[in-house]
Amino acid sequence: MTLDVKGKTVLVVDDYQSMRVILKEHLQGFGFTVIEAENGMEGLELARENQLDMIFTDIVMPVMDGLELCQEAKSDASLVNVPIVVLSTHADASYILKAIHNGADDYVAKPIEIRLLEKVIMRLIDGR
């Protein structure tokens, strides 16, 4: 089972640059082109300006958090079909349910286990 994402573009939204760098390296290693944003508002603007195949977002961020980003993206006709994966250190059921309720397609706890992330990407992009 190989992840084939060459030519696909993803957005990584996280207020911590170190997290964006780590995630970007892994996603580029899979073959993605990666765009980065520091908060949900910047992420939403970039999502509207670019043809995206997936969005990865943290929950807790300044300006606009990841839950608001999910809500806004899923209410935008141009973004409604773009899968959103929430990545957060908050791994309890209440956060997961909030994320899903607000439009997230999946939820991965930090620290991120790369094999799990790969499986989530395969399921959301290829339906596997």
The whole-angstrom separation of Cα 34 and Cα 25 is 9
Q: What is the pLDDT of residue 125?
A: 86
pLDDT digits 0-9 by tens, 64-102:
999 999 999 999 999 999 999 999 888 788 889 999 999
What b/e string do you get for 41-54 counting C-beta neighbours within 10 Å, with b at 16 or more? bbbbebbeeeebbb
Residue 119 has pLDDT above 60, yes or no: yes
Instruction: For 93, list phi and psi in degrees, rounded to 5.
Output: -55, -35
pLDDT digits 0-9 by tens, 53-67:
999 999 999 999 999
Which residues partner with 85 through β-bridges? 56, 106
Amino acid letter, 67 = L
The whole-angstrom separation of Cα 61 and Cα 76 is 21
pLDDT digits 0-9 by tens, 28-46:
999 999 999 999 999 999 9
Q: Where are the domains of the chain?
A: 9-126
The three-state secondary structure class of 73 is helix
For the packed helices 66-74 and 40-49, what is the interaxial angle rounded to 10 degrees?
Answer: 30
* CATH assignment of 9-126, among 3.40.50.410, 3.40.50.2300, 2.40.110.10, 3.30.360.10: 3.40.50.2300
